[in-house]
Amino acid sequence: MNSTQSSEETDAVLPSAEMEAGPDSDPEIALFDLNHLDRIPKSQLRALHLVHENFVRNLGSSLSAYLRSYVALNLVSLEQISYAEFLDGLSFPTCIAYLGLNPYEGTAVLELNMMLMFTFMELLMGSKGRSSVPAQRKITDIEKSIMQTLLRVVLQDLAEAWKSVAQVGFSVQSLASEPQLMHVLDPAEAVIVIAVDVRIGSVSGLMNLAIPSIFIKRLRHKFEQLQQVRRSHANEHDQAHLASVMLGVNLNFEAFLEGGEIPARTLLDLKAGDVLMFDQSVEQKLKGTLNGQEKWLGGIVTKRDKLVFEVEDAVEHKTA
């Protein structure tokens, strides 16, 4: 068999194929931006928000006890941006810690502005932490060593908050004043930035935590499990709450006999000692109603010198 074809034979085949495909069969082509951030689902962002709300709440108590001064923390925002945008928003100089995520790969970044850093330093050195003008200089090696002790408190509460998702060992790899000098992440890489407002007396500032989005995505199944557990707990909580509310609801219960008809004059003339005749037999059970709907059959008996309705049977309601 000859495997070659003439140009005429090829041209004869191609037009017929084009006609079969039709004029509108060209596939749609969409441009893909390699710098576009692969967004994390909103449900996962909500779970992250809850994790760091717990972190902020616990850290406020821990820092207040450690520094012997009241420290108020508030979670300001949680958003996904590029690492370059995160760096552009930092002041210079600043105190920035690069964090390991043992046993996972990757590096997170924790930043404290200089106002907060020097206030922490003063409190750790025994001062009242009332300095309002931060020194515009890089942190020294001695100050880095002192800050390491404070960061251990911060990272301990951070790891504790993350236990609901996964066991993550946050550890300080290095401290720096100029974040642009260390290229731990690609500028286009997506990060989740958690901004926390820290207030100590009249001094306030932001603490920013940047976690690589790729690290969050690796734990996607962990977040799904966390959401399922929280939904089940929420259902149990809702049921318990509904039960507690229903316990205080007043219901109208009635037990009655079905009698015959009498004239209105006879009813108005009734007095003590008169007897009314009912069509119902004495062996027939009384009806017990709840809010006007028949629920039980029973009889009137005496308990502790009181007349009570004794349930003997339930009324079955037929569904249509």
3-state secondary structure 187-229: CCCEEEEEEEEEEECCEEEEEEEEEEHHHHHHCHHHHHHHHHH
Cβ 230 vs Cβ 237: under 8 Å:
no
- Hunting for tokens 């951070």 — which residue is that? 158
With a CB cutoff of 8 Å and minimum separation 6, the contacts of 117 are 94, 95, 134, 139, 143, 147
How far is CA 318 from each of CA 45, 273, 291, rounded to the nearest angstrom? Answer: 48, 42, 18
At 218 the pLDDT is 85
At 17 the pLDDT is 46
Where does residue 84 fall: left (phi above 0), alpha (psi -120 to 50 degrees), or beta otherwise?
alpha
pLDDT per residue rounded down to tens, the chain (320 residues):
454 555 555 555 555 544 444 555 555 665 545 555 567 888 888 888 989 999 999 999 999 999 989 999 999 999 999 999 999 888 888 889 999 999 998 899 999 988 888 888 888 887 765 555 556 778 888 888 889 999 999 999 999 999 988 899 999 998 888 776 667 888 889 999 999 999 998 888 899 999 999 998 888 877 777 666 555 555 566 666 666 777 777 778 888 777 777 888 888 888 888 887 777 777 778 888 888 788 888 888 888 888 888 888 888 766 54
At 37 the pLDDT is 54
Helix 42-67, helix 141-162: angle, nearest 10: 130
What domains can you pick out in the chain, each with its CATH number? Answer: 42-234 (3.40.1550.10), 253-266+280-314 (no CATH)
> Looking at residue 108, what DSSP letter applies?
E
At 86 the pLDDT is 92
How far is CA 137 from each of CA 87, 116, 287, rounded to the nearest angstrom? Answer: 18, 14, 88
At 98 the pLDDT is 93
Cβ of 228: how many Cβ atoms within 10 Å? 10
